Chains A and B, each alone.
Chain A
Amino acid sequence: MAANAPAPGVPLKLMIVDDSNIIRRRIERCQNVPLLEVVGSAANGVDAIELFMATDPDVVTMDITMPHMDGIECVERLVEIKPDVLILVVSALADKATAVEAMEKGANGFLNKPFTDRQLNDALEELLSRR
């Protein structure tokens, strides 16, 4: 477990980053992983960094194609700020090169859009199992 991980039983903080309001709301609504609490959501990479500094989340879901700053650059910046943050990339970009690039920058998982509620929850649980 990472040095600054919450104590057992304390919810982990989840931040959602996606330029689509319906996707942000959907992740907020359907994520059903025990001990995961949504602390905020952002619609682009620039806002995400500001929100990240303010809320110090443990887990992030990250879109790739966004205005102002894309998800790949945002992943890199968030990992610089907090190296043990867990990042699940949630993107419609289904090519392997995008997934590999995100992983190289520090993402820990990749979920393709569109996704079912179950696929989202499985991906988040898989992510948390690495902690």
Chain B
Amino acid sequence: MFDDREIGTFVQGTTRYFEVSAQQPASIGSPFLVTHGAPEIADYTGVINITGRRTGLVYFTAPRGMLIVMLMKMNESDVCHDNLCDLVGEIANTISGNARRDFGHDFKISPPSVVAGPNKRVDLPSGCRPFVVPINWRSHSARLVVGLT
């Protein structure tokens, strides 16, 4: 069962990044629960591991095109692979920072890691039914995935 406050904290951490850094707010699509298997990941994914009162993963996964436009909006002209990894890691870092502020010591949150490239996957805890929140920005769509048990 998901706690609205927990989901709200993760979503707010994500949308805040768009609003402040990319200077254009993102909108939230209709969230859904994945009942079988793991949600697909996009080109670049920033992952935080959570332990403590809840255990699992929260990740932000975005297509390359979205991240390139974000970098450009941030006046960064170098849109190389490393900088795209950096950006998705920073977004995950912001989600993590927000969670630490709101949840305190109830949650132990790891520094973010980045998964990028074809045929990559993010393994969720077994038995976990992840909650997916579409994050829409300009013409692009990313996903925030909360997989906690």
Contacts and interface: CB of A to CB of B under 8 A. Distances in A.
B57 to A, nearest CB: 17
Given A114-B16, A114-B21, A116-B20, A20 B89 contact: yes
Point out which of B71, B74, B89 has the most chain A C-beta atoms below 10 A from its C-beta: B74
A29 interface: yes
Interface string B79-90: 000110011011
A95 B100 CA distance: 6
B73 to A, nearest CB: 12
Interface stretch (A1-9, A51-59, A86-94, A123-131): A86-94
Contact of A94 (B21, B82, B97): B97
Contacts of B98: 94
Interface in B1-45: 16-17, 20-21, 23
Interface string A74-108: 00000000000000000111111010000000000
Given A92-B93, A92-B96, A114-B20, A22 B104 contact: no
B125 interface: no
Nearest to A67: B111
Contacts of A115: 20-21
Interface string B114-138: 0000000000000000000000000
Contacts of B82: 21
Contacts, number: 60
Contacts of B20: 114-116
Q: What DSSP secondary structure best describes chain B's contact surface?
A: helix
B69 to A, nearest CB: 14
7 contacts: A20-B90, A21-B83, A22-B76, A92-B94, A94-B98, A98-B100, A115-B20
Interface of A: 20-23, 25-26, 29-30, 65, 91-96, 98, 112-116
Given A21-B83, A94-B97, 20 more contacts: A22-B74, A22-B83, A23-B90, A30-B75, A91-B97, A93-B96, A93-B97, A94-B100, A94-B101, A95-B100, A95-B104, A112-B97, A113-B94, A113-B97, A114-B16, A114-B90, A115-B20, A115-B21, A116-B20, A116-B23
